[in-house]
Amino acid sequence: MSASPPASNRQRIIELKGVSRAYGAIRVVHNLNLVVDAGEFVAIVGESGSGKTTTLKTINRLLEPDSGEVLIDGVPTHAHPAHLLRRRIGYVFQRIGLFPHLSVAENIGITPKLLGWSSAHIAARVAELLELVNLPQGFAGRRPAELSGGQRQRVGVARALAARPWIMLMDEPFGALDAVTRDALGAEYRRLHERMHLTTLMVTHDVLEAVLLADRVVVMRSGSIVADGAPSELMNDHPEEAVRALMDMPRRQALRVAALLEEATRG
Amino acid sequence: MDERVAAAWQQLPLYLGEHVALSAAAMGLGLTLSLLFAIAAVRNRYVRWPVLTLASLIQTIPGLALLALFYPLLLALSALSEQWFGRSFSALGFLPSLLALTLYSMLPVIRNGVTGILTLDPAIAEAARGVGMTDWQRLLRVELPLAAPMLMAGVRTAAVWVIGAATLSTPVGQTSLGNYIFAGLQVQNWVSVLFGCVAAAGLALIVDQLLALIESGVVRRRPVRISAGAFVLLAGIAVAAMPRSDADASYVVGAKSFTEQYILSALIAERIAAEGGEATRRTGLGSAIAFTALAAGEIDIYVDYSGTLWANVMRRKDIPPRAQLLAELRDWLVRERGVRLAGALGFENAYAFAMRRDRAAALGIASIDDLAARARSLTLGADFEFLARPEWPALRDAYGLVFAGRREFESTFMYDAVATGEVDVITAFSSDGRIAANDLVVLADPRGAFLPYDAIVLISADRVDDPLLRRAIEPLIDAIPVETMRQANYLVDGRGNPLPPVAAARWLSEHLAARIGP
């Protein structure tokens, strides 16, 4: 049974309609349809080359689809200039891309600045965000080069949230971090997602991360969606061979951990 | 202090000021264009290859040639502008120098700018787009600031190149520190040449260090360094760009780039001053540029040689007798170019074959006929112009001359080459003081194959009826015998203690006055 409310009550935030995209002769995304509702945390998983990142980038128009269209709140994304669209959507990616010549505060405040917020307003928002992503206020004046990998991605998340978007697009956001930091940041972000009523679409190749964080997991293969459902549905002997293969690893790991735990309590 | 150093110091404010103003203008224009080209090349990869290739190609053109090419181009444009808008502009001096140096400055800035931006981490560009920057915001807020250190390194290279190459603008009539070098080279004033080199190198060094200060400010984000460096640079440029009093003298006397021309231009300037006029000299002009500049009214007066104009300007290949050539030339100049041939000075500065006296005697050579019989084992030394003139093939065919080898020299070094025996025969100039100085003999021309080269005074169309100029020139017409001119030239070129050309002009003037009487 799905955890989501009935279809009639849902508000469609992101909608991809028949989106296709090719690079030269190589079809990367093929006639893809996807709906993400308000407040959902959706993870897209799949092997490298399955088209998940391309799909994500068509939403904030970092890539334009060859055919099909993307709607945000029911409005086609090409109705407005791409840069205005992007200022309303948070974007976090694996390589982070902090601006090395700007301070942490300037990095976080960049989108508000582009939107013309007052400097006092921006400063207040930066302080708020540093607290939200668990960074000391003293970091505001530092340069990205002075931060650790985990701290940098905290700044990356803060920068994406700065202009109060209600949609977050995340492309392997924690992929480059060590396991402990990745787990901590993932859990923290999940809390932010709840608290700020965000709609999050996250691409990851880490199935375990997907099933632990997301409400709904979309599995892609060769440019198409092969499965779409709550983690519990996908874990349970899915008819699709590719999905079973994908879920096998976390399953085995979970069973092994469960067995170990049982042993420990008995012992 | 050495007299020559003192004379050089005196010229420094003018030469340095012009040099700085020219270099700064070229850098300013070049930087602006380079940035635009670099941005276009970054944004569009179809533009990138042509832009970078073209910039590299320009760099391979020797600086002097680039400057020389702009002159005829601008002259043609000026003529078109005159035709279409009724307004012409000067194709000499500042404009061709500015354009050539601007082109010269562009490669390092474009290349470093393009490389600086293209080698940035692509994640940064993605983030810039992701946070909602427009293309221009990405360029101005992210890419240019991050590429700035590399860009500044390119600017430093360009500045040093431009300051160095600006010395080459002297032959197209732009005053620069190159005046020390070109004039010094002609009159063998090595102090002057060295002074020019040191001044240009010193200027390049100072500018480079100031730009380095700005660069370090950019890299380490210290605005104080940037403003300090920029302030000193701009202050220097402002001082250089201040108008100088002598900028608007009424008469401009031209001179080509050899001793006799320096002396005669000084003599004419002195005569103009004696009649109460004001004169400036534009010296060191290329041989062809001098006449074009006169025809265009950019210089008012200068001395040329009948055979030069006959062959190079009228493009005639026949060799008429001296008087007939002069008469035909006079008519042609007025008819075709509106230029007045005011008269001949009384001596010829013709091309002539010359050899060391001892060598000619040993080989038994007295005429070009004798030379032709021996030429197969001899090497000819020529100036840059001679072998390209139409009279050379005529002369060669008339005597059946075939040399074992040919070498081309700047004229100062041509005389040295024959004196030291590096070449056997040279294309000397008959009024040249260095013929006597080096104990050379001039070979007879029994077949009359060399053109006559009477020194003639030419006056531009604008000044044709200028009474002051006419009064100034009158005492010089038919007044200078070749021995006198040779002596004056020898004062400057001779061994021992050479005089500056202005002093030789004074000697010549006094000599003439004494001869003619008050």
Q: Is the pLDDT of residue A7 over 70?
A: no
Q: Is B126 on the interface with A (CB under 8 A)?
A: yes
Question: By a Cβ cutoff of 8 Å, what residues of chain A touch chain B?
Answer: 60, 62, 81, 83-88, 91, 93, 95-101, 110-111, 114-115, 159
Distance between CA atoms of A151 and B92, rounded to whole angstroms? 63
CA distance A87 to chain B (A): 5
CB contact under 8 A, A110 and B137: no
Residues 210-269 of B with CB under 8 A from A: 221
Distance between CA atoms of A214 and A230, rounded to whole angstroms? 8
CB contact under 8 A, A62 and B129: yes
CB contact under 8 A, A87 and B121: no
Please give the CATH number for the structural domain made up of B3-245: 1.10.3720.10
Comparing CB atoms, the residue among A87, A88, A101 nearest residue B146 is A101
Helix/strand number for chain A, H first, E second? 10, 10
CB contact under 8 A, B126 and A111: no
Q: Which of A100, A98, A88 is nearest to A162 (CA)?
A: A88
- Secondary structure letter of residue B287 according to DSSP: H
CA distance B46 to chain A (A): 18
Q: Which of A171, A212, A200 is nearest to A48 (CA)?
A: A171
Answer for the pair A57, A63: CB distance below 8 angstroms, yes or no.
Answer: yes
ipTM comes to 0.91
Give residue limits of the domains in chain B. Answer: 3-245, 249-348+456-516, 351-442
Distance between CA atoms of B201 and B194, rounded to whole angstroms? 10
Partners of A81 in beta bridges: none
Q: Which two tokens stand for residue B68?
A: 């020389």
Comparing CB atoms, the residue among A60, A98, A114 nearest residue B137 is A114
Answer for the pair A53, A21: CB distance below 8 angstroms, yes or no.
Answer: no
| Tens digit of each residue's pLDDT (9 = 90 or more) over B81-133 | 888 887 777 777 788 899 999 998 998 999 999 999 999 999 999 999 999 99
Q: Is B129 on the interface with A (CB under 8 A)?
A: yes
| Minimal-distance CA residue of chain B relative to A59 | B130
Q: Is B336 on the interface with A (CB under 8 A)?
A: no
Q: Is B130 on the interface with A (CB under 8 A)?
A: yes
- One-letter identity of residue A159: R
Interface size between A and B, measured as CB pairs under 8 A: 61
| Minimal-distance CA residue of chain A relative to B126 | A97
Q: Tell me which of B131, B136, B139 to substitute to probe the interface with A (most A C-beta atoms closer than 10 Å).
A: B131
CA distance B124 to chain A (A): 4
Residues from chain B that touch A56, judged by Cβ atoms under 8 A, are: none
Q: Which two tokens stand for residue B199?
A: 């001044």
CA distance A191 to chain B (A): 23
Please give the CATH number for the structural domain made up of B249-348+456-516: 3.40.190.10
Task: Render each residue's pLDDT in chain B as its tens digit; 518 residues.
Answer: 566 787 788 778 888 988 999 999 999 999 999 999 999 999 888 999 999 898 888 888 888 888 888 888 888 888 888 888 877 777 777 888 999 999 989 989 999 999 999 999 999 999 999 999 999 999 999 999 999 999 999 999 999 999 999 999 888 878 889 988 887 876 667 888 999 999 999 999 999 999 999 988 887 778 888 899 999 999 988 888 776 654 455 788 999 888 899 999 999 999 998 888 888 888 878 777 788 888 877 789 999 999 889 888 888 888 888 889 999 999 999 998 889 999 999 998 888 899 999 999 999 999 999 999 999 999 999 988 888 877 788 888 899 999 999 998 887 789 889 999 999 999 998 888 888 888 899 898 888 888 889 999 999 988 888 889 999 999 999 999 988 998 898 888 776 677 888 889 999 988 887 765 44
Distance between CA atoms of B87 and B109, rounded to whole angstroms? 34
- Secondary structure letter of residue B250 according to DSSP: S
CB contact under 8 A, B130 and A98: no
Comparing CB atoms, the residue among B126, B137, B145 nearest residue A97 is B126
Distance between CA atoms of A242 and A50, rounded to whole angstroms? 12
CA distance A153 to chain B (A): 13
CB contact under 8 A, A93 and B146: no
Does B249-348+456-516 match B351-442 in CATH topology? yes
The per-residue pLDDT for B247 is: 46
Comparing CB atoms, the residue among B127, B145, B221 nearest residue A97 is B127
| Tens digit of each residue's pLDDT (9 = 90 or more) over A117-173 | 999 999 999 999 999 999 999 999 999 999 999 999 999 999 999 999 999 999 999
All residues at 6 or more sequence positions from B489 whose CB lies less than 8 Å from its CB, including other chains: B259, B260, B263, B431, B432, B433, B434, B504
Residues from chain B that touch A93, judged by Cβ atoms under 8 A, are: 123, 126-127, 130
Distance between CA atoms of B242 and B183, rounded to whole angstroms? 25
Please give the CATH number for the structural domain made up of A9-88+165-230: 3.40.50.300
CB contact under 8 A, B128 and A99: yes
Answer for the pair A1, A186: CB distance below 8 angstroms, yes or no.
Answer: no
| Tens digit of each residue's pLDDT (9 = 90 or more) over A226-250 | 999 999 888 888 888 888 888 888 8
Distance between CA atoms of A229 and A3, rounded to whole angstroms? 10
The per-residue pLDDT for A9 is: 53
The per-residue pLDDT for B1 is: 58
CA distance B207 to chain A (A): 27
All residues at 6 or more sequence positions from B221 whose CB lies less than 8 Å from its CB, including other chains: A101
Element (H, E) at B303: strand B301-305
Give residue limits of the domains in chain A. Answer: 9-88+165-230, 100-161
CATH class of B351-442: alpha beta
Q: Which of B254, B264, B332, B342 is nearest to B293 (CA)?
A: B254
| Tens digit of each residue's pLDDT (9 = 90 or more) over B122-172 | 999 999 999 999 999 999 999 999 999 999 999 999 999 999 999 998 888
CB contact under 8 A, B145 and A97: no
Q: Is B150 on the interface with A (CB under 8 A)?
A: no
CA distance A208 to chain B (A): 26
| Tens digit of each residue's pLDDT (9 = 90 or more) over A74-126 | 999 999 899 999 999 999 999 999 999 999 999 999 999 999 999 999 999 99
| Tens digit of each residue's pLDDT (9 = 90 or more) over A32-45 | 999 999 999 999 99
C-alpha dihedral (A90, A95, A97, A98), degrees to nearest 10: 90
